[in-house]
């Protein structure tokens, strides 16, 4: 029987210093996570503009995750603290608009935490998959 399994599209913004290296670590250790997760490298989680997240949703992403250094360990001292405030407000707003909160997430993953990277991405992909297709934000999309 052919089951057409739904595969979500997930964009992962990873900071260059911790989480991108953590993703590399997951790779080196062969710690699998779903192929739906595609990573975009940014210098710091604070480089992630809410516009990028909305843009991803607009273009068809089903989930967006931002991964950065643990609070206190930011390569740039304070970047992730700003990320935390910005995303706390943005996520709360998405919730307020009735858009599933579970489609967005912030995680702190260090360069040494390949296992955490793999686990986090697997969990997030499963959560997003369980929500199904991004219907609510689909209305946001400008199909071109």
Partner 1 sequence: MQAMMEKRAKELLADGTVNRVLGWSAGEFPYDITPAVFETAKELEDAFVYNDFCAANLSKYLVKESRKEGKILVFLKPCDTYSFNQLLAEHRILRENIYVIGVPCYGKADVEKLKAMGIEGITGIVMQNGTYTVETVYGDQTVKAADAMAERCLSCKSKKHVVYDELLGDEGEVDADCNRFDMVEKLEAMTPDERFAFWRGELSRCIRCNACRNVCPACTCEQCVFDNPNSGVSQKAAVTSFEENLFHIIRAFHVAGRCTDCGECSRVCPQHIPLHLLNRKFIKDINEFYGDYQAGADPEAKPPLGTYDKADREAGEGGRH
Partner 2 sequence: MQRIGVFVCHCGTNIAGTVDVVAVAKALGQEPGVVFSTEYQYMCSESGQQLMRAAIREHKLTGVVVCSCSPRMHEATFRKAAALEGVNPYMVEIANIREHVSWIHKDMAEATEKAVILGRAAIAKVHLNAPLQAGESPVTKRALVIGGGIAGIQTALDIAEAGFEVDIVEKSPTIGGKMAQLDKTFPTLDCAACILTPKMVDAAQNEKINIFAYSELESVKGYIGNFKAQIRRKARFVDETKCTGCGICTEKCPQKKVPNEFNMGLDNRRAIYIPFAQAVPKVATIDANYCTMMKTGKCGICSKVCGTGAIDYTQKDTVIEREYGAIVVATGFNPIDAKVYNEYGYMDSPDVVTSLELERLMNAAGPTNGTLLRPSDKTHPHTIVFVQCVGSRCDETDERGKPYCSKICCMYTAKHAMLIREKYPDTDVYVFYIDVRTPGKNFDEFYRRAVEQYGVHYIKGQVGKVVEQNGKLHVQASDLLANEQLHIDADLVVLATAIEPDKTARSLGTMLTASMDTNDFFTEAHPKLRPVESPTAGIFLSGVCQGPKDIPETVSQASACAAKVIGVLAKDKLTCNPCVAHSDELLCNGCSSCEKVCPYGAISYSDKEFRGPNRTTLIRRVASVNPAVCQGCGACTVACPSGAMDLKGFSNKQIMAEVDAICK
User: 10 to 69, contacts with partner 2 by CB under 8 A?
Assistant: 11, 17-18, 20-21, 23-24, 26-28, 30-33, 35, 38-44, 46-52, 55-56, 59-61, 69
Question: For residues 3 and 96, which CB has a smaller minimum distance to partner 1 in the complex?
Answer: 96
Q: Does 125 bind partner 2 (CB under 8 A)?
A: no
**Cα separation, 138 vs 57, whole angstroms:** 7
Question: Which residues, 6 or more positions from 47, have their beta carbon under 8 angstroms from its beta carbon?
Answer: 13, 15, 79
- Per CB under 8 A, residues contacting partner 1 are 50-51, 54-55, 58, 71-72, 78, 81-101, 104-106, 136, 139-142
Q: Helix, strand or coil for residue 86?
A: helix
């Amino acid at each position: 029987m052919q089951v057409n399994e739904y595969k979500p599209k997930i964009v992962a913004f990873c900071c260059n210093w911790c989480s991108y290296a953590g993703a590399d670590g997951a790779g080196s250790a062969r710690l699998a996570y779903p192929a739906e997760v595609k990573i975009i490298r940014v210098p710091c989680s604070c480089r992630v503009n809410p516009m990028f997240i909305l843009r991803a949703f607009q273009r068809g992403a089903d989930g967006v995750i931002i991964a950065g250094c643990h609070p206190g360990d930011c390569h740039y001292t304070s970047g992730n603290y700003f990320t935390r405030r910005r995303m706390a407000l943005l996520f709360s707003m998405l919730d307020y608009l009735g858009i599933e909160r579970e489609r967005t997430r912030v995680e702190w993953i260090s360069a040494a935490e390949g296992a955490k990277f793999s686990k986090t991405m697997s969990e997030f992909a499963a959560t997003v998959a369980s929500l199904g297709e991004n219907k609510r934000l689909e209305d946001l999309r400008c199909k071109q």
